[in-house]
Chains A and B, each alone.
Chain A
Amino acid sequence: MSENLLQVKNLVKYFPIRRGVLLKRDVGYVHAVDDISFNIMKGETLGLVGESGCGKSTAGRTILQLYRPTSGRVLFEGEDLASLKGQALRQKRRKLQMIFQDPYASLNPRMTAGDIVGEPFIVHRLAQGTQVQKEVMRLFSLVGLNPTFINRFPHEFSGGQRQRIGIARSLALNPSLIVCDEPISALDVSIQAQVVNLLEDLQAQLGLTYLFIAHDLSMVRHICTRVAVMYLGVIVEIGGRDALYQTPLHPYTHALLSAVPIPDPVKEEQRQQNIPLTGDVPSPIRPPSGCRFRTRCPLAAEICAEQRPELLEKAPGHWAACHMV
């Protein structure tokens, strides 16, 4: 479990803000992802957590080249995805797939479930005619859907079932890495567990590697082996799940963890004081100098405004970007 499957190196994604009618000029940039680096090992589940708008979804999409990175490299099986184009990218991307957040928006309402799951086979000419239907039915069974439903349209399924259709589609091309972009946050709590269990079963059966993007910290703790915490486009802390949850290093991680509700009123009352964050997340168009978190950090000092803290290994396998720890 030590082989690197994916290496992200200094990945940057800025979205330009354009003005002007005829001659468009860039008047600024949204710093959605600003120089992040991490590795994903074969067979592991890396959690990527952070507040809404911190760039975690953008990071996922940029890794998959759905957005082309502004700079940086994404090495998958030794090849830089960011340098691939057209047919070469299309072939390479078969090994990388994505599960989307919104099971309503991620399925074409005008196609049947069977057509949606069968499309990868047709596009890559992997099967034809009844062979496609057979493959689709196999995938339906694999994700726990009734294979006789292949002629139904997405609106005839429940949210959880739709998410299963999305999962079946992502499995069609036998990927090795799946980016799960908040795959459960749009589902009912009772359905969330089912889908998470399905993802875990599939991982065990097919040897999948996940990049699990989420904001639900308890779910991430359940499913992930390692966790990365993002704030305003940068990774502030990354480490093994237990280390990160038990001994968080970065003050932002502290604050995040203290905000997780405990489903037990007695324990909830006994636990140490919440660390409330004051103020709003600064604008990603004009991020603060130095440390991104300094405007809301209880430990902030002068150096934090001057120097951007590097992500350093503070304990074995446990990295944090903070001047104060």
Chain B
Amino acid sequence: MAETPLAIAVEQKESLFRRFVYQFLKHGMAVFWSMILLGIIVLVAGAPLFQRYSPTDQDLYNRFQPPSAEHWMGTDDLGRDMWSRTINGGRISLVVGLLAMSIAIGIGTLVGLLSGFFGGWVDAVLMRLTEIFQSVPRLFLLLVLTTFLRQLDLPWLRPGTFWPIAAVIGGLSWMGVARLVRGNTMELRDQEFVLAARMIGVGNLRILLRHILPNVASPIIVTATLGLAGAIITESGLSYLGFGVQLPTPTWGNMLSATQKYLTSAPWMAIFPGMMIFLVVIAINYLGDGLRDALDPYHVEKGEK
């Protein structure tokens, strides 16, 4: 068999993706909660289609209405429709969470890869930096930075925008990712397949991108989902304290913030946005759990009972 005609039918790729989907579908709870999450995302993304009132229109004759056929989730202290505010508020909360998480994963992955791969003084400098970030009280820094950013009168920082909050949350939560990626990278760096790549003349950049990054992708994806839940909670907390996205733009966090005084008289004002945060965070955690199981290459062999 010296000559190999190309005409031989080459087996098609049985993609890793399809195997992953199959594994994921076997995880009942993850599938169930993913459906819930998907439902919420559809509601939130298509909010203008589902809302019957504008989320900001006030109706002072109808304040504190309990849930009814007219106002599915009741009305708030200014007579605004809670259903409309809840699904619209989710847009900001989810987008801020997603954006913050992407920033955190981006910075964390870069820092972790460089630190773990090159070691030596690169590692020392980057890890001390990580520790500095970790040792500053996060809430304090979040409050200071969001307030500071709002003082700057830049066109893309107008009230109601969520960009600065996402950047601040993301910029302060990449340290865990960096440590995780660094650890995995250090382990992979000395694996024989990396040495083999060296032997055939693969350069550092290609080793990082082709040989190391794909092998740390699974833990990164899992951390990303869990980080998303964390970012949503952080945004809610900030908005609750009044440092997040400013009223009248609704987010789940600032909706909760307004309800303190009415907790006994109009509990629906707190229940619905609170429940949404709760559902989304639980759903994302189950999703992360399912992803972890489906992406673990060893799980494939052990999982078959």
Contacts and interface: CB of A to CB of B under 8 A. Distances in A.
Interface of A: 61, 64, 66, 90-91, 93-94, 96-98, 100-102, 105-112, 119-120, 123-124, 130, 133-134, 137-138, 140-141, 147-153, 155, 166, 169-170, 172-173
Interface stretch (B5-13, B99-107, B170-178, B223-231): B5-13
A175 B48 CA distance: 66
A123 B196 contact: no
B44 to A, nearest CB: 34
B297 interface: yes
B211 interface: yes
Given A66-B195, A100-B196, A108 B211 contact: yes
23 contacts: A61-B195, A90-B201, A94-B200, A97-B200, A106-B193, A106-B195, A107-B196, A108-B193, A110-B217, A112-B13, A119-B200, A119-B210, A120-B200, A120-B201, A124-B201, A137-B8, A138-B2, A138-B4, A140-B4, A147-B4, A148-B10, A150-B10, A170-B200
A64 B195 CA distance: 11
A170 B200 CA distance: 8
Contacts of B191: 105
Interface of B: 1-2, 4, 6, 8-14, 16, 191-193, 195-203, 206, 210-211, 214-215, 217, 297, 300
Contacts of A166: 196
Contact of B195 (A96, A100, A134): A100
Contacts of B12: 151
Contacts of B203: 90, 123
A169 B215 contact: no
A133 B14 CA distance: 18
Given A105-B192, A148-B11, A169-B196, A94 B6 contact: no
Contact of B210 (A111, A112, A152, A172): A111
A147 B8 contact: yes
Nearest to B300: A155
B10 A151 contact: yes
Contact of A93 (B192, B201, B214, B297): B201
